[in-house]
Amino acid sequence: MDPKDEIKAKLDIVAVIGEYLELKPAGMHGFRALCPFHAEKSASFHVSSDRQIFHCFGCGEGGDIFTFVQKMEGMDFPEVLMHLGQKAGVEIKRFSTTEGNTKQRLMGIHELATSFYKKVLSSSSGSHVAREYLANRGITSELIDRFEIGFAPDDWSMLSDALLKRGFSEAELVQAGLSIKKKSGIGVLDRFRARIMIPLRDQHGNTVGFTGRQLPGADSNMGKYVNSPETLIYHKGRLVYGLDLAKRAIKDHKCLIIMEGNLDVVASNKIGVQHVVASSGTALTQEQLELIKRYTDTVVFCFDRDAAGLTAAKKGVTIARSLSFDVRAISLPTDVKDPDDLVQKNPEVWKKLSNESIPFMQYLFDRTLFSRDISNVDHKRLISQELLPAISEISDVVEREHWLAKLASLLNIDLAILRTAIHPKLEKSVIKTNTNSVHPIKLGKKDQVLLVLIGSILNDELNRDYVRKQLELTVIDHEQIANLYKFLEETYTSDIETAKTKSFFAKARNLLQSDPSKETLLSLLDQSSLIAEQQFENLSPASCLTQLNTLFETLHATDRQSKRSILAQKLRQAEDAGDVEAVNKLLSELN
């Protein structure tokens, strides 16, 4: 069996998608969820266990298990094959593409480097300062294991030498970002020396880069933190630190806490608060938030108490709102710097606070009002300058009005005046997302009926012939639907054996899938099959037939109606042109 088919046979699309989304049963074999590919409030994302496909009626995204994981994980096809192959226990031969190969080798280098640094930390005599430092910060051996923390020895080329011995080339080590070419041009040096090494892992747990932290007291012009450069496998703006370990806890808590520093994440894990990640010290990017969106719709910001922390948080909040996240915040006590600090001083308070998030606007109000005097006109102006832009970003009208009213009563200003102050900004604040996604095909009533009928040809082998015989191609004006029907007829007549069985759907789908130029038809095929599945579910064979006949009646009635309106239009044109002969002819046709 082709490994792709083998994976399909072993993995159920409902189970795989269920790991990412909360699926609610819809009918006997169907499930529904909020679409992860576009922002929506009611579920138009459908999964069919019978057909092993998904389709979103809102944005048009759809496909099989491979398409889903590809889109969710941002993987290319060979990567999905490896990923799902592992899940299904199907052995997949290594990547055949050169880029895939290089990526695999770079990950291999990082895996070896991680164990190298770990070993140095635990057993080298030169790393006792690092061990002491970690112990002082309360980073236990369990945490060191969980985050695979290590130490880069104070040596020019110890890691490079070890990796070269394992058969990697100098060029590969440089490409991985772990070695630097010597100025002389001959040989390489280690990039990280005498630093505590924190592996940066992607959401699957693969190490793709490192952060190296200087030991206290070391030469300060080298920078406290040194990070891996951007490589083929490490993109700073795409990595969410700690996500690989947070996934399970996100499901339990239905939200994710975003902090600034990687060590905040480590500290929080120490006391079992595991639904935490770090933005690695910068403002969150759209890519990071899109990645997070695969796992939850609620983000809780917990940034440092300084002004830089708030600025970073605000940028992240703007993007998060545009991606329809529910945005909340945790307010740290005034006497601590960051979550790490809090865990060290008072772990129980952090445990409690992690469950007590407040709406982000509430947080912003509290912070803006802190140490300000509402009776002072200058303060009033500052308060409104800080809060109005944030309020204007809220897309939900009810929520926006709520905060606007709160601000109005606080400043004692007429609500209507404040409303006009934010109005011009409203449209601008909506950031367009998913620019490359497909669009749903917009259909009129007649076309929808046609899709159900075509869907019943696909799904229902008992009535397949009955529908085919009655459905005339000439009734279909919609070009793509007509093409789909033509294609199905060809598929039917080319292999009557299969056409009589349940496998007809899979056969037609595979044929369309193997031809990239037929992507639109594939999407239509999935749509019609899913619509029909919903319409005919739980119906007895007799009621199925009644339902089909009703559909045909509707189809013919709408068809007559549309033909009549075309005639009427022509009649008006003929009347305007004074063409008596044409008018008489059209009149007789209309009657």
* Chain residues in the site for Zn ion (CB under 5 A): 35, 37-38, 56, 58-59
Q: 200 with 239: CB under 8 angstroms?
A: yes
Taking the C-alpha atoms of residue 41 and residue 581, their distance in angstroms, rounded to an integer, is 56
Sequence-ordered strand ranges (E) for 353-490: 358-359
CB of 534 to Zn ion, least distance (A): 17
Q: By C-beta, is 13 or 56 nearer to Zn ion?
A: 56
Q: By C-beta, is 18 or 58 nearer to Zn ion?
A: 58
Q: By C-beta, is 38 or 103 nearer to Zn ion?
A: 38
Q: 427 with 395: CB under 8 angstroms?
A: no
CB of 532 to Zn ion, least distance (A): 20
Cα 338 to Cα 278, 345, 379, distances in angstroms = 12, 11, 27
CA 132, 134, 139, 140 dihedral sign is negative
CB of 37 to Zn ion, least distance (A): 5
CB of 44 to Zn ion, least distance (A): 6
CB of 521 to Zn ion, least distance (A): 19
Q: What single DSSP character describes residue 156?
A: S
Pairing of strands 62-63, 276-278: unpaired
Pairing of strands 298-302, 326-329: parallel
Q: By C-beta, is 58 or 281 nearer to Zn ion?
A: 58
Q: By C-beta, is 37 or 492 nearer to Zn ion?
A: 37
CB of 38 to Zn ion, least distance (A): 4
Q: HSE (CB half, 13 Å, CA atoms) of 224?
A: 2
Q: By C-beta, is 37 or 536 nearer to Zn ion?
A: 37
Structure-block tokens of residue 419: 């409303």
CB of 24 to Zn ion, least distance (A): 16
Nearest to 201 by CA among 70, 300, 111: 111
Sequence-ordered strand ranges (E) for 215-316: 225-227, 256-259, 276-278, 298-302
Q: Which pairs count as long-range contacts for 354-359, CB under 8 Å and 24+ apart, including other chains? A: 354/257, 354/268, 354/273, 354/275, 354/276, 354/330, 356/330, 357/255, 357/257, 357/300, 357/328, 357/329, 357/330, 358/328, 358/329, 358/330, 358/331, 359/327, 359/328, 359/329
Taking the C-alpha atoms of residue 558 and residue 343, their distance in angstroms, rounded to an integer, is 68
Q: By C-beta, is 22 or 230 nearer to Zn ion?
A: 22
Q: By C-beta, is 35 or 453 nearer to Zn ion?
A: 35
CB of 336 to Zn ion, least distance (A): 41
